Amino acid sequence: MAKPIVTIVGRPNVGKSTLFNRIAGKRISIVEDTPGVTRDRIYAECEWLDNHFTLIDTGGIEPDTIDTIFAQMRVQAEVAIEMADVVLFMVDGKEGVTAADTEVAQMLRKAKKEVILVVNKMDKFVNNDNIYEFYNLGIGDPVSISSSEALGIGDLLDEIIFRFDETMNTGEEDDSIKIAVIGKPNAGKSSIINKIIGEDRVIVSDIPGTTRDAIDTKFEINGQKYTIIDTAGIRKKSKVLESVEKYSVLRAFTAVERADVCLLVIDADKGVTEQDIRIAGYSHENNKGMIIVVNKWDLIEKDNSTFKEFQEDVRKALAYATYAPILTVSALTGQRVNKVLDAVDEVYNFRNLRVSTGVLNDILTEAVLMNQPRTVKGKRLKIYYATQVAVNPPKFLVFVNDSTIVHFSYERYLENKIRESFEYKGTPIVIEFRSKNEKKL
């Protein structure tokens, strides 16, 4: 299930960025007293009482402004509101209700979103009777806080979590394989999806950035259910100029988090670019399954060594994702596109593969006999036993004498030994080392 999205909105200089930093637990937004400092939206992954959500900070909304910067900020805020499951409408408790607050409230009522009215700057020296004035906005019961003094933040977070129950889809568990199609703009993602599902369900255009939203398409083949997520192409940060397109990047990252398997679409004519490396890295860091789909292969002049050389280039550029299979296709001609779902099924099955504790420990025992861990800080690593604790992605817990002396090279060695026996094609595997008497935090 996708993480809920919480967006903070309000006119400039009411304390949105300070609240954002309080909830995110660190200084991410620049905080100054000058209105308009936060021109772009900034987002952070947050957690409260085991509830995870994405928090978006926005520039202040200046209704009916003719100033170019404030007009752009308004557009960004409107897009962030459209994305949100819960909107925090922030106002200034010391200043009281302003004409701009009233106009923002009217905008939010039209948006028909879950809205929490947050009255900021209500510290212990302020007359809390001021809060009653904000009922006139017609948004509901206000929640008073002081973001600078960290007062009332817990109550506000409780209210946010309560609204998740009201807004998020908590129906039947989705048993489909979720596939995120990711990559740079104009690599052919939408065209590949259309070929896979056999109909034009996603708009296809030669103009980069056509697909602004993450679009879910559910379908079923031979009894297997799939949800395929088309995302806007992820651009380099310096090239993300349109405010709406900036939110497309967030949607794409959110799609990766929701996915079981990511299809990284690469333009064969351009090869692996720095941006492809960044996109693949995001999938890898989130431990998602990955298939590298090289599109427009029909445009490449070939000889007997073309694929081998291209594959070597890909492996060199994406050295951290050697587990990912490489599939060459042509969305234009349909060449080998029918193999994509076969590869997805295979990767998904590996992500859900369970290894018995006995077999796993036999593999690790043999691995240690073949290659003893080196001494670190005068101490040699001892492996007691291991067990698999999760699937999708596969996760292994290894109990050792001292988890602080595990060298990354030895962890990689053990991973390779596990892969030699079970392959785990297309998926990262997670190995967590824990000292035998160490309590889980």
List, as residue ranges, the binding site for GTP: 10-17, 57-61, 120-123, 183-190, 230-234, 295-298
325: its two tokens: 């299979």
Plot region of 285 (φ>0 → left; ψ -120 to 50 → alpha; else → beta): alpha
Please say whether the beta carbons of 286 and 256 come within 8 A. yes
Q: How many residues does the chain have?
A: 441
Cis peptide before 393, with omega less than 30 degrees from 0? yes
Among candidate residues 268, 283, 292, 280, the one with its CA nearest the CA of residue 343: 292
- Rounded Cα distance between 432 and 104, Å, is 48
Residue type, 320: Y
Among candidate residues 189, 222, 219, the one with its CA nearest the CA of residue 203: 189
Please say whether the beta carbons of 429 and 395 come within 8 A. yes
- Rounded Cα distance between 141 and 136, Å, is 10
Binding-site residues, in ranges, read 10-17, 57-61, 120-123, 183-190, 230-234, 295-298
